[in-house]
Amino acid sequence: MSMNNQQRRATANLRSRNSLCWRKFQKSTVEDGFDGRTPAELLAAGEWAWHDLGTAARAPEGAMTVWTFNGKSARWGTGKEFALEAEGLVKRNVGISTPANWISAATFLAGDGGVQPDTVVLHIANESAQASLSISSVRLWLPKDVATWQTLWAQAPMPVAAEVPSRDKGIVKLRTNKLPLTYVAIEVGTNAGPVWAHLRIKREAFGISGGWVGGNLTKEPYLKLLQHLHVNTGHFDAVPGYTDNPALYDRYPLRLFNRLWPLDKWDTDAWLPKIHAVEFLGEPQYGGGRPVPPQEVFDKLLPYRDSRLATSITDSEERIWRWYAGLSDYPHYDAYRVVAPSPDSWGEYDRWGGRRIRWGAPLETIGDMCRSLRELNRPMPCAYWSQGPHEGWGGRFDGRSRRSPTPDELRAQAVHALSTRITSLYWFNLSLKSLLKFPDTWDAMTLIGRETRMLEPFYLEGDAYRFERRVRADGAPDWDLASIAAPDAAVLFAVDTAYTADPQENLFKFGPPRAATFTFVLPPRLRGPKDVFRVDADGVHEAKWRVDGNGVVIDDTRSRDAIYVAASSLEMRKGIEQRRQAALAHEAAYAVDRAAVEALLQ
């Protein structure tokens, strides 16, 4: 499932990684500009997947614009160069280099809980084999208004002082003025030259969503159940009797996640706090039998660029989703590992001791795909449609009678995704029929929701730091170890991969707890932590740990998964427990009346 380096960097922005200043690209049209060919010709030849040069605008003196294309063939991959010709620009060769330093994650947060961020968190990677990277400043380039999103003007640089060792990551967290909901270029000043990123400013908040919820949002027992599951987002827009009924909506608020068109209805100060993202293209890589070309996806999303609404698309086919990288502001993907449609051939996985199965695929490949999507779209945050209960997956031709994940299978897929540092988790699906057909999944989703709320600040401010796939002496799967590094703590995941495919019930089953020793490398700022403890929905638990070299070693007896926190302060436990109590209070306020929910279908 993994990508090679050239595929991973398939999206090429014309930026300062090759020492060309973005301000040079001041152009209204491009003709024969790329090795003597137009963008349209490169698309037609299958060498480019998509570009935004059709909307390229001449920048006034002192401003800059950003041009982006996604190279589809190796000709436009890293290590190559091309001749660029454009009006007002001397013809030159532009290199597409593999960067030594980059912005790995860029997250915008709002301290007051509003829609306009006032904090930016940047994680900077230094892949130089020898040199430390010194960070001295951060400058934002912003448009003067949302409608002129392509013309960016330099803001005052903000001084910082940070060091990133060789082959490591560092972090910069800055308070700013309230930022507009539009596109920004981020310029990080370093001793190795500026490091750039270009993305939309969106207030990050962890969304837990559900598919197919729109049909029952006027029914209070159903709304209570969604709230109890910590769902705060839904895939819908206008629902008569719900979104236009403040008495009901304000008691059971869900942020909207759909087409949200026309813009003059939804891009308003009143609706913005209630909107998660624009998403209306389904799965464009499938497109109902006709894949929607990436350039067509760009064109369909283009009207939203001069709005304040962030866009999202559902990727679904890892073999080609690199071509769709960079198209939306908040990409996510849709893939399940048991009894569900899938683009990969489950019977080809050699994972079960010589046995081949058609009803499931390795649960840990969810993490593989999350990492792939993240690297292709960095520094943008990513999300995941996780497998929940689903009433509609029929047929028993593969020998499995249960046509939905068990609670263990459901949890494992979600935790693999969370361990990669997603910032939203969507359940497919939470329709009334599906929830009632598999009520044994309710508790599993509630516990995942509670744990997510407990750890939410670390997901939002953090970045994926390290990953290790551990196997036993005989090569059999053992544990996936992953970490998320936030400013003041690291969340450490041990996810059990030693489960089996039960030959009688055709279910994935985990064994009893077993002794294990987990070693996690920590970023320099968190080495020698003040506290290390285990976290689950029941609270904070003591852990047997010790400092060892650049990280910590934890001895435990576990199965399924274990989540630990390495904290720089002894106060960290208190905040996590406070958030747990708030989550418990929320669950109690929306206690589920199962009989009332069942009555909705009678």
Q: Which residue shows structure tokens 């689950």?
A: 536
Question: In angstroms, rounded to a whole number, what is the distance separating the alpha carbons of residues 344 and 353?
Answer: 20
Indicate the residue type of 120. V
pTM (predicted TM-score): 0.94
pLDDT value for 23: 32
Q: Using omega within 30 degrees of 0 as the cis cutoff, is the peptide bond preceding 291 cis?
A: no
| Contact between 14 and 53 (Cβ < 8 Å) | no
For the segment 169-227, what is each residue's pLDDT rounded down to a tens digit?
A: 999 999 999 999 999 999 999 999 999 999 999 999 999 999 999 999 999 999 999 99
The correct CATH number of 101-200 out of 2.30.40.10, 2.40.30.30, 2.60.120.10, 2.60.40.10 is: 2.60.40.10
pLDDT value for 582: 98
Question: In angstroms, rounded to a whole number, what is the distance separating the alpha carbons of residues 108 and 515?
Answer: 40
Question: In angstroms, rounded to a whole number, what is the distance separating the alpha carbons of residues 124 and 128?
Answer: 12
- The CA dihedral of 47, 53, 59, 62, to the nearest 10 degrees, is -40
pLDDT value for 32: 63
In this structure, the strands spanning 463-471 and 233-234 are unpaired
Architecture of domain 207-597: Alpha-Beta Barrel (3.20)
For the segment 527-541, what is each residue's pLDDT rounded down to a tens digit?
A: 999 999 999 999 999
Indicate the residue type of 93. N
Question: In angstroms, rounded to a whole number, what is the distance separating the alpha carbons of residues 230 and 587?
Answer: 8
| Contact between 126 and 166 (Cβ < 8 Å) | yes
| Contact between 322 and 10 (Cβ < 8 Å) | yes
pLDDT value for 55: 87
Strand boundaries in 225-352, DSSP class E: 233-234, 255-258, 275-278, 314-315, 332-334
Any idea where the domains of the chain sit in the sequence? Answer: 5-96, 101-200, 207-597
pLDDT value for 130: 82
pLDDT value for 87: 78
Partners of 71 in the β-ladder: 48
Element (H, E) at 298: helix 294-301
Question: In angstroms, rounded to a whole number, what is the distance separating the alpha carbons of residues 539 and 438?
Answer: 27
Q: Which residue shows structure tokens 């454009």?
A: 86
In which residue ranges of the chain is pLDDT below 70? 1-32
